Amino acid sequence: MSTTGNTGGTTGNWMVPFRDPRREYLELTDELERTIARVMESGWYILGSRLEEFENAFSEYLGEGVFCAGVGSGTEAIHLSLLASGVGPGDFVITVPNTAVPTVAAIVSAGATPLLCDVKEEDFTMDTADLEERLSGWKRKYGSKVKAVIPVHLYGQTAQMDEILRIAREFDLIVIEDACQAHGAGFLGRKAGTFGDLAAFSFYPTKNLGCYGDGGMVVTRNRDMADKLKMLRNYGQEQRYYFTLKGVNSRLDEIQAAMLRVKLRYLDEWNQKRRHLASVYNRGIVNPSIRKPVELSGRRHVYHLYVIRHPERDSLMKHLEKHGIQTLIHYPVPVHLQKAYRDLGLGRGCFPVAEALAEEILSLPLYPQIRHDEIERVIEVLNEFQDILV
């Protein structure tokens, strides 16, 4: 995730590394290498049958009759969703401050201005009461220029989609789900990515479904929108050398698509493992000063990240580090407090919940291939921390 992110499989000297993407690759080496070889031999590397197969398989996986367009990354999936919806300079797009910065970067790339609303403490996702309150003000100020809302399904749990859809209808907003951390997550029996007008997925290597480079997907229930996205990602071409739209170059290549097609078959099993491992943490962690993540009723959490809270987060992190356990913070600085986004003019105090969470959150090692002895060790060291405080 971060610029120092570990995607290459080097896990340093950690006794329990935060994650180790190599273990997944080693599980599937034969299958993946055969797949790569077949694409190489085919001589067709961009926009071919592998991408189409994967798009169809992903549509089928999500259900609800959605259409898919493979693109270059999750960031590009959000950016292209905005372009395809006609959002551009002079427009405003709402999201949350406690997200991966790319959510906001994509809004800025489209030429629009981000508006932020706070999140709920219980699940870290968009606070719909705060959204509604701020929206009334924004609508008075900017009128119909407030075009879209991007709820983020953070850590593998969806935002409150029923409320968000209701508010979006009332205020005439396009809904783009940021589902980059929510492959297979559910809300009231439906999968993340099937609620909004559009949804963006990332296949960054460490996501619940990841490739071996960059990749992303836009999902929509509107066939015309899907066709438009397929033009936009390919320089705006309708047919070769005939350009209907001003587009970009942002495509999911054949090798990545073919590997994702293979890995999609394992996604449910891997998510199930993540859920099981989360339940092992939930049962094992008995330190009363640690707050564990909550799966809200009606949701299916897929634990892209298992995020705990502790008032002395930094010392807890050091304590774990001392025992060879690597943890990360997603994310230490909310977007509005990042140097690059100072021009939003939103200082400390604007989003009290998001800001307070940033001080307390800590992501523990959790991925399908983590070993039970590693999880048990993390639990033991976390529970010990209690003794130090008392």
Binding segment for ligand PLP among 100-108, 136-144, 249-257, 316-324 (CB under 6 A)? 100-108
Tell me the residue nearest to ligand PLP as measured from the CB: 74
Please select the residue that binds ligand PLP; options are 18, 204, 270, 331, rule is CB under 6 A. Answer: 204
Applying CB under 6 A, does 210 fall inside the site for ligand PLP?
no
- Judged by beta carbon, residue 87 or residue 100, the one nearer ligand PLP is 100
- Judged by beta carbon, residue 183 or residue 261, the one nearer ligand PLP is 183
- Judged by beta carbon, residue 303 or residue 385, the one nearer ligand PLP is 303
Applying CB under 6 A, does 202 fall inside the site for ligand PLP?
yes
Instruction: Tell the smallest beta-carbon distance from residue 232 to ligand PLP (Å).
Output: 16
- Judged by beta carbon, residue 4 or residue 239, the one nearer ligand PLP is 4
Instruction: Tell the smallest beta-carbon distance from residue 216 to ligand PLP (Å).
Output: 5
Applying CB under 6 A, does 70 fall inside the site for ligand PLP?
no
Applying CB under 6 A, does 205 fall inside the site for ligand PLP?
no
What count of residues does the chain have? Answer: 390
Applying CB under 6 A, does 358 fall inside the site for ligand PLP?
no
Instruction: Tell the smallest beta-carbon distance from residue 153 to ligand PLP (Å).
Output: 8
What would the 3-class secondary structure string for the chain be? CCCCCCCCCCCCCCCECCCCHHHHHHHHHHHHHHHHHHHHHHCCCCCCHHHHHHHHHHHHHHCCCCEEEEECCHHHHHHHHHHHCCCCCCCEEEECCCCCHHHHHHHHHCCCEEEECCECCCCCCECHHHHHHHHHHHHHHHHHHEEEECCECHHHCCCCHHHHHHHHHHHCCEEEEECCCCCCCEECCEECCCCCCEEEEECCCCCCCCCCCCCEEEEECCHHHHHHHHHHCECCEEECCEECCCCCECCCCHHHHHHHHHHHCCHHHHHHHHHHHHHHHHHHCCCCCCECCCCCCCEECCCCCEEEECCCHHHHHHHHHHCCECCECCCCCCHHHCHHHHHHCCCCCCCHHHHHHHHHEEEECCCCCCCHHHHHHHHHHHHHHHHHHC
- Judged by beta carbon, residue 305 or residue 381, the one nearer ligand PLP is 305
- Judged by beta carbon, residue 7 or residue 237, the one nearer ligand PLP is 7
Instruction: Tell the smallest beta-carbon distance from residue 181 to ligand PLP (Å).
Output: 4
Instruction: Tell the smallest beta-carbon distance from residue 330 to ligand PLP (Å).
Output: 8
Applying CB under 6 A, does 181 fall inside the site for ligand PLP?
yes
Applying CB under 6 A, does 100 fall inside the site for ligand PLP?
yes
Please select the residue that binds ligand PLP; options are 35, 59, 75, 234, rule is CB under 6 A. Answer: 75
Binding to ligand PLP in span 141-180, by CB under 6 A: 152, 178, 180
Nearest-angstrom CA–CA distance, 234 and 231: 5
Give me the residues that bind ligand PLP (CB under 6 A), please. Answer: 73-75, 99-100, 102-103, 152, 178, 180-181, 202, 204, 214, 216
